[in-house]
Amino acid sequence: MSEPADISAMTFETALAELEQIVARLESGQAPLEDSIRMYERGAALKAHCESRLEAARLRVEKIVMGANGAPGVEPAEFG
């Protein structure tokens, strides 16, 4: 079995795809307990990475929307 990819180097899309695979495997209930725990831990790390990437993207969009001078009357971008 190959070594899992370094999460910090993953794109949002790659991390999300792996997280979705982990969720599907955990929901199937077919993995042994130790494997399930290992997958859950990696899933939690992937989730945190995805949240971090989303927050960074939100801040970049907000910076673009606000402009360099923080133009008055411009609302920050909202994602939700």
3-state secondary structure string across 25-80? HHHHCCCCHHHHHHHHHHHHHHHHHHHHHHHHHHHHHHHHHHCCCCCCCCCCCCCC
What is the structure's pLDDT at 74?
52
Any idea where the domains of the chain sit in the sequence? Answer: 7-68
Residue 59 has pLDDT above 80, yes or no: yes
CA–CA separation, 39 and 36 (whole Å): 5
| pTM, entire model | 0.75
Domain 7-68 adopts which CATH fold?
A: Helix Hairpins (1.10.287)
- Give the C-alpha separation, 44 to 38, whole Å: 10
Q: What percent of the chain has pLDDT over 70?
A: 79
What pLDDT sits at residue 43? 97
Q: When comparing pLDDT for 34 and 79, which is higher? A: 34
